[in-house]
Amino acid sequence: MPFTWSGRATQTLSATAMGALLLTSAMKHFRDPAFFHQVVPDFLCRDDTGERPNGACAVMTRDEWVALSGLLEAGAAVGLLIPATRPATAWGVTAMFTAFLAGHADALRRAYGPAGTAAQRKVHTARLPLQLPLIAWAWSLRKPGQAARRRQ
């Protein structure tokens, strides 16, 4: 008799994998925040030096945005592991990854600008399209056992 996965088991495995990915990313936010600096759009960042005119409008520094997104990812990792909170968390993660598109697009724009380097162009050219499968993956976790029901 062949082994078959139930929809619930498949979703639990998928949610666990995404949770592990989010937790790994969250830890990197605190171990190597500079890695994420380029994907925080300038218009969001407070500039306490007074060099940029939008410094008065933005609420947090680049480091604070990186820390906040790391905390959100850590919380999302936990939320995906709990079946009762998984649907709401999946909606939130989908929205978070969608919002991150703006930062990735801005980083790609800057990488191809006059100050961009070849390494930045490579990294950001790869990072932007990777958001799309992450968005689809998070979206797939909204309803329990969805994948198994479609196959039947």
What is the b/e burial string over 108-139, where b = at least 16 CB atoms within 10 angstroms of the residue's CB? bebbeeeebeeebeebbeebbeebeebbebbb
- Lowest mean pLDDT across 9-13, 24-28, 99-103, 122-126: 9-13
Q: What is the pLDDT of residues 24-80, one digit of tens each?
A: 999 999 999 998 998 998 888 887 665 655 545 678 889 999 999 999 999 999 999
CA distance 45 to 103: 12
CA distance 143 to 88: 9
- Global pTM? 0.82
What is the b/e burial string over 58-78, where b = at least 16 CB atoms within 10 angstroms of the residue's CB? beebbebbbbebbebbbebbe
